[in-house]
Amino acid sequence: MPKHIFVTGGVVSSLGKGLTASSLGRLLKMRGLRVTMQKLDPYINVDPGTMNPYEHGEVFVTDDGGETDLDLGHYERFIDESLTRSSNATTGSIYQAVLAAERKGDYLGKTVQVIPHITDEIKRRIERVSTDDVDVVITEVGGTVGDIEILPFLEAIRQFKKDAGRDNVCYIHVTLVPFIGPAGEQKTKPTQHSVTELRSRGIQPDVIVCRSEQPLSADLKRKISNLCDVDDNAVVNAADARNIYELPLILHDEGLDTVALDVLRLETPDIDLAEWQSLVDTVEAATRPVRIGLIGKYIQLPDAYLSVVESLKHAGFHHGARVEIDWIQAEEVEGLLAQGRLTDIDGLVIPGGFGSRGFEGKIAAAGHARENKIPCLGLCLGLHAMTVEFARHVAGLEGANSTEFETTSRHPVIDLMNDQREITDLGGTMRLGAYYAVLTPGTKVHHTYGEPVVSERHRHRYEFNPAYRSRLEEAGLVCSGVSPDRRLVEFIELADHPYWVATQAHPEFKSRPDRAHPLFRDLVGAALERRASLEKESLSVRQ
């Protein structure tokens, strides 16, 4: 039977519960344990698929097509395991399951209540990922202990200790220790109140992880230990780190994994941190600057493009480069181009999105990259923008567009597939999850991957219209990857361009800090070559 670690948070949201849980998962994996992770979210949406990116951030997609919380991206990047839709459960999905069971008569006419029916369903979701090939399940509970929505989850994980046995459950509580400027000191009162609230729900934390700007003193740790009734060594300090990938090393030095293993009565071999230390050293050594423009619609909330940003950083690590992201509002691109604003960009990424706002700006950015030989990578909607741009300005298809934005387009080079036209439920029209693509030998994409067949995750409704494929190819567009049945175009590129590549997929979901995704790796590589070439030209002119 797997052991269980539950991670809760208090005081304020966005403290870093997900990163703390991910870091612990990595530490346990480096000790030879088989680890999986899960997020329980209190919001009533069935999944985050239809939530506003400004509120929720990106939607992370799993191989099996689950639309999940962005924290699953952190989980996968840290523990380097592919998770499933079962790794994310929301209040909405839990109530949906309970109500469906009630309608079928599964409860034999009993009154359906939060306890036991909702809490039992929550426990079933936890048990669903507790398979025989896992040693430890780390479950993060979203929100904070003071939220009304979180109460059924706290009750469920309280009960879980009784069901699984004391030695099989560890509770970790993440809290804030703020620094009060006028007083000139760090304050433990928010942590005390948060733990008191958690204990009022029947949960005594085994470990308290204290988030702070600066390291806590030994005296402050002892104070928290005494007032919150945890062992001295179970007060773990997670002070602000230089980069998120340093966090596992910090938490190990603080003893988090050691304390958790003691609580769970688990013995493991000594930990080997060499590989992760090497990664952190690589991150710190990545100093060569390269500037990548990200043409986005939701740039006011960078978390809307979290996996794209991390993938660019991973690519920078690979090349020993520090990626500087220039956030460019898609709606402003045409005006910025007129001002000469994008001339000093080393590379561009045109990411995914939904809706017409900013699409013309993405098209303009694609054209600017094509005409000026600027390395450019298009993702999902980015492929649509690059296809439309090529169709209009190279293939001579005046008025070419996507039927997502113009249903009566003269040249619908991007369109719904026939089997999607009759579907009206927005939750059921997308191609979701992992799909294979066959790459065309000799193309940039084939060289980038180094494999004839690849699998990438998808999240989209509209596709490259195959009716226009031959016409666009005659004009010079290379369809460098297609679905196994040859029906759908998965990759496009230009042969006479340093790097003008797009994919219908979301490769950012599979990038890892120590294994940059090939498409991002080669984009940053091409951007570095462009930067070096321009610097050499500039030096030659000055001399």
- Within 10 Å of residue 272's Cβ, how many Cβ atoms? 11
pLDDT at residue 244, rounded to an integer = 95
| Cβ–Cβ under 8 Å, residues 20 and 7 | yes
- Within 10 Å of residue 244's Cβ, how many Cβ atoms? 18
pLDDT at 114 over 60: yes
Which of 121, 140, 389, 508 is the catalytic position? 508
Helix 17-30 and helix 71-79, axial crossing angle in degrees, nearest 10: 20
The number of C-alpha atoms within 13 Å of 38 and in the hemisphere containing its C-beta is 24
Q: Residue 153: left (phi > 0), alpha (psi -120 to 50), or beta?
A: alpha
**pLDDT single digits (tens) 182-222:** 777 899 999 999 999 999 999 999 999 999 999 999 999 99
* pTM (two decimals): 0.94
Average the pLDDT over 26-43 and give the result.
97
Query: Contacts by 70-74 with C-beta closer than 8 Å and gap 24+?
Result: 70/303, 70/306, 70/307, 71/17, 71/18, 71/21, 71/22, 71/39, 71/140, 71/142, 72/37, 72/39, 73/306, 73/307, 73/310, 73/509, 74/18, 74/19, 74/22
pLDDT at residue 421, rounded to an integer = 45
Pick from 255, 222, 261, 217: which is nearest to 236 by CA?
255
pLDDT at 124 over 70: yes
Pick from 355, 361, 347: which is nearest to 319 by CA?
347
- Within 10 Å of residue 356's Cβ, how many Cβ atoms? 12
pLDDT at 470 over 50: yes
267 catalytic residue (yes or no): no
More confident of the two residues 417 and 10? 10
With tokens 């950083």, the residue in question is 313
- Whole-number CA gyration radius for the chain: 25
Which of 319, 384, 506, 517 is the catalytic position? 506
> What is the full DSSP assignment across 260-329?
HHHHTT---PPP--HHHHHHHHHHHH--EEEEEEEEES-TTSGGGGHHHHHHHHHHHHHHTEEEEEEEEE
| Cα dihedral 26, 32, 34, 37 in deg (nearest 10) | -10
464 alpha carbon, distance to own chain's centre? 25
pLDDT at 535 over 90: no
Lowest mean pLDDT: which of 38-42, 53-57, 123-127, 370-374? 53-57
**pLDDT single digits (tens) 41-91:** 999 999 988 888 878 899 999 999 999 999 999 999 999 999 999 999 999
Mean pLDDT of the chain: 94
Beta bridge partners of 321: 288
76 catalytic residue (yes or no): no
**pLDDT single digits (tens) 226-247:** 999 999 999 999 999 999 999 9
Q: Residue 65: left (phi > 0), alpha (psi -120 to 50), or beta?
A: left
pLDDT at 150 over 60: yes
The C-alpha atoms of residue 445 and residue 499 are separated, in whole angstroms, by 10
CA distances to 11, 199, 233, 404, 534 from 343, rounded to whole Å, are 45, 58, 54, 30, 11
Identify the DSSP state of 118.
I
| Cβ–Cβ under 8 Å, residues 506 and 432 | no
Q: What share of the chain is helix, strand, coil (3-state, %, to 5)?
A: 45, 25, 35
Average the pLDDT over 397-414 and give the result.
96
| Cβ–Cβ under 8 Å, residues 500 and 370 | yes
pLDDT confidence bin for 159, thresholds 50/70/90: very high
DSSP-derived 3-state class of residue 527: helix
380 catalytic residue (yes or no): yes
pLDDT at 423 over 60: no
**pLDDT single digits (tens) 253-286:** 999 999 999 999 999 999 999 999 999 999 999 9
The C-alpha atoms of residue 49 and residue 459 are separated, in whole angstroms, by 10
pLDDT confidence bin for 422, thresholds 50/70/90: very low
> What is the full DSSP assignment across 160-186?
HHHHH-GGGEEEEEEEE--EETTTTEE
pLDDT at residue 543, rounded to an integer = 63
Express as a percent the part of the chain with pLDDT over 90. Answer: 86
pLDDT at residue 51, rounded to an integer = 86
pLDDT at residue 425, rounded to an integer = 44
| Cβ–Cβ under 8 Å, residues 26 and 246 | no
pLDDT confidence bin for 428, thresholds 50/70/90: low
| Cα dihedral 17, 22, 23, 26 in deg (nearest 10) | 160
Longest dimension (CA), the chain: 88
pLDDT at 427 over 50: no
**pLDDT single digits (tens) 306-355:** 999 999 999 999 999 999 999 999 999 988 888 887 888 999 999 999 88
- Within 10 Å of residue 3's Cβ, how many Cβ atoms? 24
DSSP-derived 3-state class of residue 357: coil
Express as a percent the part of the chain with pLDDT over 70. Answer: 97
The C-alpha atoms of residue 47 and residue 61 are separated, in whole angstroms, by 11
pLDDT confidence bin for 534, thresholds 50/70/90: confident
**pLDDT single digits (tens) 510-522:** 999 999 999 999 9
Query: Which residues are CB-neighbours of 18 under 8 A, at least 6 positions away?
Result: 39, 71, 74, 75, 140
Q: Counting every residue, how long is the chain? A: 543
The C-alpha atoms of residue 241 and residue 450 are separated, in whole angstroms, by 36
Which of 380, 411, 456, 460 is the catalytic position? 380
pLDDT at residue 146, rounded to an integer = 87
